[in-house]
Structure 1
Amino acid sequence: MQLKRDLRNRRFWRSLATNGFAALGFLSAVLSLFDLFSPNTLGKLNLPEILLLPAVALVYAIWQSWPYPVEQHYSSPDTKVKLVTGDLFDQDTNLVIGMSDFFDVETPHIIAENSVQGQFLSRVYRHDVPALNSDLTSALAGKTPVETAVVKPGKSTRYALGTVACIRRNRTHYFCVAYTAMDQNNNVSTTIGILWEALGKLWDEVRSRSNGEPVAAPVIGLGQSGMSTILPIQDAIRFLILSFMFASRQQRVCEELIIVIRPQDEKRIDMLEVQDFLQSLKKS
């Protein structure tokens, strides 16, 4: 269980001790000053200070050290990053959808049904492939293909990696970003360099199209792209956060990035480490 793992985490106990002793010292100093300026008042209250102060300090330390919710607000720029466990498509905000450079959508032989892209087709478009293809074609109308008439199953027009097709449907923006290259057998791959560049272009599109509204994204690169061996989930989360923060410091992207963790992946993530990482970006 996540709770048991957090309790075994040295980060938690180190933070608990630091915050606990800090709170205990602060409370002791306050009570000493109070007793100095108002002698005998505390004695009349008959408070068990010896037990009360550690108890209050412990409660404060737990509150400060517990990693939930995992989120951080930044004043410069005015933005927020938050991790939640749940379903990407249950988020009431704009969404990021990862795609290949062909923007294929058909399942199950080209796109996996359980992938984010496959769920996008089934849950948002109710398996209506022509409707999704039509919206993608409209969104890509201003984009120049890098290759056409490619012989392969599915679509035959390739776009540059990092191309973003922004679809607006039912008041939600879906930022479909091409961060994987698909070969003639519909196998996909990418690299850290491509992924970084694609995310940079994604944030540019979010900045210009979202009107500052929050955007939710899955952990990029965990599917069929082959990145999971190079970029494990903990590193992938940091990678996504760094990309967003670097872009935000150049120019504010949006008011909040929500990174959605699948429930089955939560046990693989050290939430305390992620919270420390978010806080370290605030200090830098």
Structure 2
Amino acid sequence: MRKLRYAIYGLPYYISISYWRKNYKNIITTFFAIFGLAWTFVEAANHFKMAIAVPETTPLSFSLLLLIGFVLSLLINFPKLIHIVTIADTDIKVELLVANYLNLEGDKVLSTNSTFDTTHSDNFISPKSVQGQFYKKYYKSISHLDNDLTNSLANETPIMTLNRTKSKNQQYSIGTVAKLTHIKNAPFWKVWSDDIEFRSYWLAMADVNEFGKPTSNFENLQVSLGELWQFVATKGHLENLIIPILGSGRTGINEKRERILQEIIFSFVAFASENKTRKLTEKLTIAIHPSDLLKHDINFYELCGFIEFTCKFKSSKNFGRSQGI
């Protein structure tokens, strides 16, 4: 069932111009390899008079061979939508996955602003943002979410008190994490299962003005990720951790999504490798929304290579942040 969902996610990308522009050479090469192999087999069978049923070469059989070769080449080059690597010298896995982050099971990370504002008035928090979608899926009222956030931040000290009338005034440092606990009903086909408990980690990554305009940068991402891993290592629950492309949308980080994904991978692998006594999670799943794959020309295969390289050579003294695939 899971693989079927991934195939469905991949269909829009499969018929996109972006996919064909990147992969038409691979498809053509695969087609000729399949066709050549089949033709060689037929010729060899005829030459050695092998006792097998080799159809007579006719326009119809030739066309059928071409069609089979073409279909097989398309199937072989169907876009890769999942890649899993184990970090060297650990049993922690890093999974790169094309899927809707909200539909995955596990503890979830989402970025927010440093005042932990939640209001949707005047589009302060966009309903289209990850935070807006998360609220719609798991909460019935803003007051409920605000109460959860307030309780979670009770032991955190604000760095500043603002003077606003339409939003919150307690501002926290970049990298502050609020951990919330949620209960959701088990799927209807699991009638005998208990309700599912999971946690969400709300990560302050951007300052926001009184109009809801965020201000953030790549350094905020780096600082926030370090604080997140530290928090999860100390107060987490070893559940699978799911993270989207942080800061790529409404948070306002002006970097390509591939660069953000690379930083998430590098930061996590570095922390997991250097902190063997404090395990963060069994698996980190980095979720790329199918629409991001289409709109922003993300090269999934290059990211798979980056994960392989990072997980294998993360201990190398010559491996720095400026080095890539």
TM-score, normalising length: structure 2? 0.67
Displacement after TM superposition at 1:194 (Å): 1.5
- After TM superposition, the structure 1 stretch with the greater mean CA deviation from structure 2, 160-169 or 239-248, is 239-248
Structure 2 partner of 1:139: 152
Residue 98 of structure 1 aligns to a residue in which SS? strand
The 3 A distance-change label for structure 1 pair 92 and 65 is: closer
Q: Distance in 2 between matches of 1:173 and 1:77?
A: 24
Q: Distance in 1 between matches of 2:304 and 2:77?
A: 11
Q: Distance in 1 between matches of 2:241 and 2:86?
A: 15
1:121 aligns with 2:135: yes
Unaligned runs of 5+ in 2: 1-11, 34-49, 53-71, 184-196, 314-325
Displacement after TM superposition at 1:216 (Å): 0.5
- Which of these residues, 287, 295, 299, is aligned with residue 260 of structure 1? 287
1:236 aligns with 2:249: no
- Which of these residues, 271, 274, 277, is aligned with residue 300 of structure 2? 271
Q: Distance in 2 between matches of 1:250 and 1:174?
A: 25
Q: Distance in 1 between matches of 2:178 and 2:128?
A: 21
Structure 2 partner of 1:27: none
Show CA shifts across 1:228-266 (max 9, x none). xx3111111111111111211122321111111112111
TM-score, normalising length: structure 1? 0.76
Structure 2 partner of 1:36: none
Residues matched between the structures, number: 243
Structure 2 partner of 1:197: 223
Residue 111 of structure 2 aligns to a residue in which SS? strand
Contact 1:79 1:255 (C-alpha < 8 Å) held by counterparts:
yes
Unaligned runs of 5+ in 1: 21-44, 48-58
- Which of these residues, 207, 211, 216, is aligned with residue 233 of structure 2? 207
> Kindly, what percent of the aligned residue pairs are identical?
23
1:13-32 → structure 2 map (5 Å cutoff): none
Residue 171 of structure 2 aligns to a residue in which SS? coil
Q: Distance in 2 between matches of 1:66 and 1:151?
A: 49
Q: Distance in 1 between matches of 2:77 and 2:126?
A: 41
Q: Distance in 1 between matches of 2:98 and 2:113?
A: 25
Q: Distance in 2 between matches of 1:244 and 1:156?
A: 32
Q: Distance in 1 between matches of 2:158 and 2:107?
A: 26
Q: Which amino acid aligns with 1:273?
A: E
Structure 1 partner of 2:175: 162
Structure 2 partner of 1:173: 199
Displacement after TM superposition at 1:68 (Å): 4.2
Displacement after TM superposition at 1:69 (Å): 2.2
1:78 aligns with 2:91: yes
Contact 2:241 2:281 (C-alpha < 8 Å) held by counterparts:
yes
Displacement after TM superposition at 1:156 (Å): 1.1
Q: Which amino acid aligns with 1:125?
A: Y
Contact 2:87 2:311 (C-alpha < 8 Å) held by counterparts:
yes
Structure 1 partner of 2:312: 283
1:107 aligns with 2:120: yes
